[in-house]
């Protein structure tokens, strides 16, 4: 079966934006809340730092992902399109990347972590499309690739003072002249990959052998919303072909005029 790239129209842009913002709001319970207490000496400062770094990384990741994707589109297609999906997933990538280090990095480092997370997300997303790996919600670019970057970033930007204040441990990132944290983070990445692959690979092999890994081709064409959930969640209707052709001709003419100029 030939696999082709296909993008689906969002059924509701408002709900599409609301979904990541709901995660973003919950992340303030996740990161600052992981302090587990606020009344002890320095605990309030640590929780506040977590909230600040979480905000900065998410915001920077959102802006970076959208504009990197826009620049790529301008270079490859000759026109600018601003994809809100890239912005929202870029924010999630920034949130994932800052989670491992929210208590041990300075606010300026959180901006850099979010910026690089936005770039990592965009290129990881396009890599999966290039490899024809179906990831409808870009979970792998957000959680796997940005998560790995977050662990590496901890080993780079971990402040020795903040590490001592938060965990009562001596050390820091390579930016501060230490290498112990980076070594631990790299070991963590390898352990997580090994654990996940070791547990899930036999599981996937088993359900594939039982014939439960995927539905048949007919149900794939109809869509699981209809075949399993009694209704279509997405508007799959196409715009008028004449309008599409007219738009392409206008863009082609605009790009040609730019080259001549």
Cβ-based neighbours of 116, under 8 Å, separated by 6 or more: 97, 149, 153
What distances in angstroms separate CA 202 from CA 101, 123, 193, 210, one per listed residue? 32, 29, 14, 12
Which tokens hold the place of 235? 């508007």
Which tokens hold the place of 242? 């004449």
Which tokens hold the place of 73? 């589109």
Closest CA to 181 of 170, 172, 189: 172
Low-confidence stretches of the chain (pLDDT beneath 50)? 1-2
* The model's pTM: 0.83
Which is it for the CA torsion 243, 245, 251, 254, positive or negative?
negative
Q: What is the pLDDT of residue 163?
A: 92
Find tokens 């994932």 and name the residue: 96
Q: What is the pLDDT of residue 111?
A: 97
Q: What is the pLDDT of residue 192?
A: 96
Q: What is the pLDDT of residue 1?
A: 38
Q: What is the pLDDT of residue 216?
A: 78
CA distance 251 to 258: 11
């Amino acid at each position: 079966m030939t696999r082709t790239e296909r993008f689906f129209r969002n059924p509701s842009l408002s709900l599409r934006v609301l979904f990541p913002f709901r995660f973003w709001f919950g992340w303030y319970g996740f990161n600052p809340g992981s302090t587990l207490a606020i009344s002890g000496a320095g605990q309030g400062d640590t929780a506040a730092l977590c909230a600040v770094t979480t905000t900065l990384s998410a915001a920077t990741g959102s802006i970076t992902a959208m504009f990197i994707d826009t620049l790529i589109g301008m270079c490859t297609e000759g026109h600018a399109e601003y994809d809100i999906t890239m912005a929202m997933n870029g924010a999630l990538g920034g949130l994932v990347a800052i989670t491992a280090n929210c208590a041990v990095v300075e606010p300026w480092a959180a901006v850099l972590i979010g910026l690089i997370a936005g770039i990592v997300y965009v290129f990881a997303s396009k890599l999966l499309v290039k490899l024809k790996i179906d990831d409808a919600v870009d979970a792998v670019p957000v959680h796997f690739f940005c998560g790995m970057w977050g662990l590496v970033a901890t080993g780079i930007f971990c402040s020795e003072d903040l590490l001592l204040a938060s965990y009562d441990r001596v050390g820091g990132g390579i930016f501060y002249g230490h290498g112990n944290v980076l070594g631990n983070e790299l070991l963590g990445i390898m352990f997580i990959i090994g654990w996940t692959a070791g547990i899930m690979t036999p599981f996937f092999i088993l359900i594939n052998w039982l014939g439960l890994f995927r539905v048949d081709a007919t149900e794939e064409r109809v869509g699981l919303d209809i075949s399993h959930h009694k209704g279509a969640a997405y508007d799959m209707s196409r715009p008028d072909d004449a309008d599409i052709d007219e738009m392409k001709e206008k863009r082609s003419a605009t790009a040609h005029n730019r080259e001549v100029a």
